[in-house]
């Protein structure tokens, strides 16, 4: 038996034939990066390859790194192994990685969602023999509503709070969800304020995208200016003194975890919007089906449960340990 095309070792997902890693969590010589979230793009690799839209993001986060950008669908070879990136629909600049050698095709999904959010590129199913998939929300309780319904609900929530003279605070990750929310907020309702972390990341992305105008909250921002408007802040801001300026406020979070009441109460926030940048149960199953793969390897999320279910559907499914985080949204 020859070695599998992609294997899992203590540094990341490894292609021995090309001597290249994908989303390595320890420093390596050469790495292909699926997207800019911290658990997938670590500091310290010698050479990075990623989608060109992801370059500003990882440079903003990791500083001056040696990075090459590629287009979706553009093939590049390393030691006769053919690689290409394909849209994953997770966040801006996110990709799946297709790896082909002697007719055998593997795909690593990275993180993905199947609904087109209008900014991340539409998820593209890639035919393969072996599919390495995330399954963050690999349970049948996770089923998303169409995003337009969620954003309508979000804008109405903002309007209601405005009527009650309250400031709306929405807590989302600064990369990905923040920009997705920003794109769909109705700026006619009021002013969109941002926390510094969100403003900086969004600034990096404005070159390529058209987002509504935002105002960064600074020491000079007046309490009265915020009233009735909306603030986008990272989850870490919740419960800090930074929030004082927003009093009286109503808090919310937008994430797939908001599906369950317990998760919402644990975070002690008022309103939960079920809005995820990952595939839901049906999304995962349909994505796997359209790859026409035989083997599925589940990396992070409810891996044991999800792979067990895949086996009942006839897939050769198993799990692999990685250091990708399960609790992101």
Partner 1 sequence: MKNFAQLIQKIDSTNKTNAKVKALKEYFDTADDKDKIWTIAILSHRRPPRPVNSTQIREYAGELSKIPAWLFEESYHIVGDLAETIALVLPKNNSETEKPLHEYLEDILDLKSKSDDKKKNYLFKHWKKLNYYERFVFTKLMTGGFRIGVSQKLMTRALSQSTGIDQDVLAYKLMGNWKPQNSTFQSLILEENPEDYLSKPYPFYLAYAVEGELKDLGNPEDYLFEHKWDGIRAQLICRNDQHFIWSRGEELVTDKYPELETFKEQLPEGTVLDGEIIAYPNNEIGDFKDLQKRIGRKNVSKSLLKKIPVIFKAYDILEWKGIDIRNKSFAQRRKVLDDLYDKFKDTIAPFHLSETMRFSDWKEVEKERQKAREIRSEGLMIKLVNSEYGVGRKKGDWWKYKSDPYSIDAVLTYAMRGHGRRSNLFTDYTFALWNDDKSELVTFAKAYSGLTDKEFREVDSWIKKNTTDRFGPVRQVEPHHVFEIAFEGIAESKRHKSGVATRFPRIIRWRKDKKIEDANTLEELKALL
- By the criterion CB under 8 A, which residues form the site for partner 1? 139-143, 250-251, 259-266, 268-272, 302, 305, 308-309, 312
Comparing CB distances to partner 1, the nearer of 221 and 260 is 260
User: With DSSP H G I counted as helix, E B as strand and the rest as coil, what are the percentages for the chain, rounded to 5?
Assistant: 30, 25, 45
Provide the minimum distance between the beta carbon of 211 and partner 1 in the complex, in angstroms, as a whole number.
27
Provide the minimum distance between the beta carbon of 43 and partner 1 in the complex, in angstroms, as a whole number.
22
Q: Give the burial class of 153: count Cβ atoms within 10 A of its Cβ; 0-12 exposed, 13-18 middle, 19 or more buried.
A: middle
Comparing CB distances to partner 1, the nearer of 194 and 252 is 252
Provide the minimum distance between the beta carbon of 238 and partner 1 in the complex, in angstroms, as a whole number.
11
Provide the minimum distance between the beta carbon of 180 and partner 1 in the complex, in angstroms, as a whole number.
21
Comparing CB distances to partner 1, the nearer of 102 and 308 is 308
Comparing CB distances to partner 1, the nearer of 269 and 279 is 269
| Contacts (Cβ under 8 Å, ≥6 apart) of 22 | 6, 12, 13, 14, 15, 31, 32, 33, 34, 97, 108
Name the nearest CA neighbour of 209 among 182, 190, 189, 191: 182
d(CA 142, CA 256): 7
Name the nearest CA neighbour of 320 among 294, 299, 293, 296: 299
Q: Give the burial class of 219: count Cβ atoms within 10 A of its Cβ; 0-12 exposed, 13-18 middle, 19 or more buried.
A: exposed
Provide the minimum distance between the beta carbon of 270 and partner 1 in the complex, in angstroms, as a whole number.
5
Comparing CB distances to partner 1, the nearer of 104 and 149 is 149
Quick one: which H or E segment has residue 240? none
Extract the tokens encoding 190: 């009021």
Comparing CB distances to partner 1, the nearer of 219 and 244 is 244
Provide the minimum distance between the beta carbon of 22 and partner 1 in the complex, in angstroms, as a whole number.
22
Comparing CB distances to partner 1, the nearer of 60 and 238 is 238
Extract the tokens encoding 230: 């909306």
Provide the minimum distance between the beta carbon of 52 and partner 1 in the complex, in angstroms, as a whole number.
35
Pairing of strands 12-15, 20-22: antiparallel
Tokens 């801006």 sit on residue:
92
């Amino acid at each position: 038996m020859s070695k599998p095309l992609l294997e899992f070792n203590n540094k990341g997902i490894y292609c021995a034939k090309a001597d290249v890693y994908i989303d390595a969590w320890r420093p390596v010589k050469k790495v292909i990066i699926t997207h800019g979230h911290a658990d997938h793009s670590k500091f310290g690799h010698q050479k990075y390859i990623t989608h060109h839209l992801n370059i500003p993001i990882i440079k903003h986060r990791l500083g001056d790194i040696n990075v090459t950008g590629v287009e979706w669908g553009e093939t590049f070879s390393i030691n006769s192994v053919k690689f290409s990136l394909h849209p994953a629909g997770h966040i801006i600049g996110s990709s799946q990685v297709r790896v082909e050698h002697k007719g055998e095709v593997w795909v690593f999904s990275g993180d993905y969602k199947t609904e087109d959010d209008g900014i991340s590129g539409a998820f593209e199913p890639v035919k393969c023999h072996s599919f390495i998939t995330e399954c963050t929300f690999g349970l049948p309780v996770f089923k998303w509503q169409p995003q337009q319904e969620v954003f309508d609900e979000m804008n109405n929530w903002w309007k209601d709070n405005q009527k009650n003279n309250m400031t709306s605070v929405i807590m989302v990750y600064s990369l990905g969800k923040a920009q997705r929310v920003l794109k769909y907020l109705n700026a006619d309702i009021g002013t969109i304020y941002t926390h510094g972390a969100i403003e900086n990341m969004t600034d990096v992305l404005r070159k390529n995208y058209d987002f509504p105008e935002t105002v960064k909250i600074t020491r000079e921002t007046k309490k009265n200016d915020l009233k009735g408007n909306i603030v986008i802040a990272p989850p870490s801001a919740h419960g800090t003194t930074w929030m004082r300026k927003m009093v009286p406020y109503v808090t919310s979070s937008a994430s797939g975890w908001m599906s369950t009441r317990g998760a919402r109460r644990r975070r002690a926030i008022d309103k939960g919007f079920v809005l995820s940048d990952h595939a839901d149960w049906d999304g995962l199953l349909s994505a796997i089906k359209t790859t026409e793969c035989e083997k599925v390897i589940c990396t992070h999320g409810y891996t044991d449960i999800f792979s067990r279910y895949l086996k009942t559907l006839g897939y050769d499914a198993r799990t692999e340990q990685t250091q990708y985080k399960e609790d992101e949204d």
